[in-house]
Amino acid sequence: MKIYINHFNLEVLPELIKNLSEYRVKTEEYIQLYSNDGIYQIDQSTTIKLKPIDHDISILPNFYKDFTIIVDPSFYIVEKVVQIPPEHVSKRIKRDIFSIHKNTNSNSNSNSNSNSNIKLVIETDIPINQTRNGFEFLTKKNLENVEQPVDIYFELPNGSNIEDVLVKKEIIEFLSILN
């Protein structure tokens, strides 16, 4: 399940990533491929096909102060594959994952462990140098050669209740940091 912040200014994401560094849990990089056959994801150890399961979104206006959030309970079913279609478009993505509660395993309180599944994710497009026959083509994107943060959202386990007091409290904690 993903929760998006409606009308969030993506231009502030580079600075926001710096301010959230103490909450960073991990960073992942992968390549996402789009073809007529579906969406594929390749990381260092696996190649998977993502089969979307769509659900209706819900909008919660003024969830916290002026923040309106969009709850998308859609998800992907993951299927391991050994081949990808030869005709596809790809993009390289970096996911910075943040958590309010970094060391939840050391807590003996079971209530704080329930919060540990809520993550703030900031996705960044990483430029891919486009080469053909050993020559690098100059494109606007690789001339800039700058990573571009393109998305921010909360990631929760499927079936999470957004109205649960502990879930709501942790999302509000993150929103107050973003404010």
Q: Which residue has the higher pLDDT, 140 or 151?
A: 151
**pLDDT band for position 178 (50/70/90)?**
confident
Ranges 59-68, 130-139, 150-159: which has the least confidence: 130-139
164 vs 127: which has the higher pLDDT: 164
Residue at 10 is within a domain: yes
Residue 162 lies in a domain: yes
Asked if residue 86 belongs to a domain, the reply is no
Residue 34 DSSP SS3: strand
- For the chain, what is the domain count? 1
Burial of residue 114 (CB within 10 Å: 0-12, 13-18, 19+) is middle
Domain that holds residue 146: 2-29+57-75+93-178
Q: Is residue 152 part of a domain?
A: yes
Query: Using one digit for the tens of pLDDT, what is the confidence trace for 56-115?
Result: 999 999 998 889 999 999 999 999 999 999 999 999 999 999 998 765 443 333 333 444
